Structure 1
Amino acid sequence: MIDIQNVTKVYETRQGARTVLRNASLRIERHEKVGILGRNGAGKSTMVRLISGAEQPSAGRIERKMSVSWPLAFGGAFQNALTGLDNLRFICRIYGVDAEDKIAAVEDFSELGIYLREPLRTYSAGMRARLAFAISMAIEFDCFLIDEVVAVGDSRFRERCHTELFEKRGDRAMIIVSHNREYVKRHCDKAAVLIDGVMTAFDDVDEAYEFYGRSVA
C-alpha cells in the first residue's frame, strides 16, 4: 500500500514561492493501477517524483508499504562519467541486487550493443531511456511509476516495453501519468485528477475523465 496524506509541494522561484500541490491525498493498494490526469504543469510528474522518493514533500507525508520503482525511462540518477554497465552495477548495489545476474537481460533488452560499455555522456536521450527502462525491468518492484513510458523508442521497442510491463508484470501496482486517454482507460482501475494543485480521486476512470473535461473546458 502507498498512502499519500495531505501532501503539499512548494518550489521557490525568482518570482516567489509556487505551490504545485495542495493537501493531495491518495491511496494505492497492491495490484491497483491508478491513472493521474491533468494538464501540462498540473503537478503530475511532481507527484510521481514524490511517490518515488526522488523529492520530499513540503508538508504532509507519503507512507510506502511496498517497494516503488523510480519513474520508468527516467535516467536522472545516472552518472554521466560511468558506462551504462557501471551504472547498472551501481543501481543494483543500491537495491541490494546481484548485478552480474542482470547484465545479460539488460544487454538484450536495451539493445545498446557496444555502447553499454561506453560512458553515458556519449548517449542520446533515447539510449538513456532504453537503458533506464531495461534496468527498471531487471530490478523487481511491487509498484511501477510510469510517466509517459509509451513515448520510449520506436514502435517495436514500445511493444517490447508493453509486454515486459503489462503482461509479465500485470499483477503489480502501477501509477500511470499519460495524456493518452485510451492508454489510461485500458490499463487503469481508477484515476485521480490534478487541477491547480488540487487532487480529486475517483474509483471509476470514466468519471474521472468526465470531471476532468468539465473542469478544463
Structure 2
Amino acid sequence: MITFENVRKTYPQKGGARTVILEDLSMVFPQGRNIGILGRNGAGKSTLMRLISGAELPDQGRIRREGRISWPLGFSGGFHGSLTGRQNVRFICDIYGAEFRSVMEFVEDFAEIGTFMDMPYKTYSSGMRARVAFGACMALDFNYYLVDEVIAVGDASFQKKCKAVFAERRQRATVLLVSHSVSLLKDFCDIAGVLQDGRLVMYDDLDSAIKAHTAQNIKPRKA
C-alpha cells in the first residue's frame, strides 16, 4: 500500500513565486487495483510518479510505502549515460539484490539492440533507451510498477511486446499508469484519478474518470 498524508509539492519560479503541483494531498493507492492517472500536460502526473517512487521528496507531508516499488518507467534519471546498457543493468541488479545473469538475459531478449548493449547509454536513441529501461524493470519483481507513457513509444512491434509483458505483470502486481491514451487505460487499469490544480480526484470506474478528464480539457485554463 502507498499512502500520501497531507503531501504538498511545489517548484520555484522566477521572481520567487512557486508553482503548486500537489496541495495537501491525502490518498491511498491500494495494492491489487491497477490505477490510471489522467491530467493535462503540466498537471504534475510525472511529478506524482517520482514522489511515489522516492525519486523526489515532498515539501510537506509524508509518504508511506509498503512493498517493492519500481522506478518510474519513462524517467531515465536512474541510468548513467557513460555506462553501457549492460553496466546499467548490473548496477540496477546490485541495488535491488537481483541475480544479474537472469535479468540480463531477459533484457537482451526483450530489447533486441544487439551489440549496442555494450556501448554507452548516452549514445542510444530514445527508442533504444525505452527498450532497455522497460526490459530492466519488467525483469525484476515489484509489488508496484510505475509506468509513465513508455508503453506508447517505439514502433508497433515494440509496443506489442510491451503490452504483452505488461499484461502478464499486472496479473500479479499493481500498476500505476500515467498516459494520455484512453485506450491504454481501458486495457490495463481498473480505476483512475484525474489530477488538476494540485488536487487528485479518484473515481471507482474508468468511464467517470475519462468523462471528468475530457470535460477538464475543454475548459479554459486558469489564468
TM-score (ref. length: structure 1):
0.94
**Residue type at the aligned position of 1:11:** Y
Secondary structure of the corresponding residue to residue 171 of structure 2: coil
Q: Does 1:98 align with 2:93?
A: no
2:204: which partner in 1?
203
Deviation string 1:7-38 (CA, Å, 9 cap, x unpaired) is: 11011122421111111232122221111111
**How far apart are residue 162 of structure 1 and its match?**
0.7
**Residue type at the aligned position of 1:94:** I
**Residue type at the aligned position of 1:8:** R
**How far apart are residue 210 of structure 1 and its match?**
2.4
Structure 1 residues 140 and 205: alpha-carbon distance in aligned structure 2, compared to 1, 3 A threshold: same
Q: Which runs of 5+ in 1 are unaligned?
A: none
1:82: which partner in 2?
83
CA distance in structure 2 between the partners assigned to 1:25 and 1:132 by the alignment: 30
1:108: which partner in 2?
109
1:128: which partner in 2?
129
1:51: which partner in 2?
52
Q: Does 1:31 align with 2:22?
A: no
CA distance in structure 2 between the partners assigned to 1:181 and 1:34 by the alignment: 13
CA distance in structure 1 between the partners assigned to 2:73 and 2:216 by the alignment: 29
1:70/1:145 contact within 8 Å kept: yes
1:73/1:130 contact within 8 Å kept: no
CA distance in structure 2 between the partners assigned to 1:108 and 1:173 by the alignment: 24
CA distance in structure 2 between the partners assigned to 1:80 and 1:39 by the alignment: 30
Tell me the C-alpha RMSD between the 2 structures. Answer: 1.4
**How far apart are residue 115 of structure 1 and its match?**
0.6
**How far apart are residue 168 of structure 1 and its match?**
4.3
CA distance in structure 1 between the partners assigned to 2:109 and 2:99 by the alignment: 17
1:73/1:152 contact within 8 Å kept: no
Instruction: Map 1:146-185; keep pairs closer than 5 Å.
Output: 146-185=147-186
CA distance in structure 1 between the partners assigned to 2:74 and 2:137 by the alignment: 8
**Residue type at the aligned position of 2:87:** D
CA distance in structure 2 between the partners assigned to 1:213 and 1:138 by the alignment: 35
Structure 1 residues 169 and 182: alpha-carbon distance in aligned structure 2, compared to 1, 3 A threshold: closer
**How far apart are residue 175 of structure 1 and its match?**
0.7
**Residue type at the aligned position of 1:133:** F
Worse overlay, 144-153 or 33-42? 144-153
Secondary structure of the corresponding residue to residue 213 of structure 2: helix
Deviation string 1:184-214 (CA, Å, 9 cap, x unpaired) is: 1232111111111111111122122223333
2:7: which partner in 1?
7
CA distance in structure 2 between the partners assigned to 1:92 and 1:212 by the alignment: 38
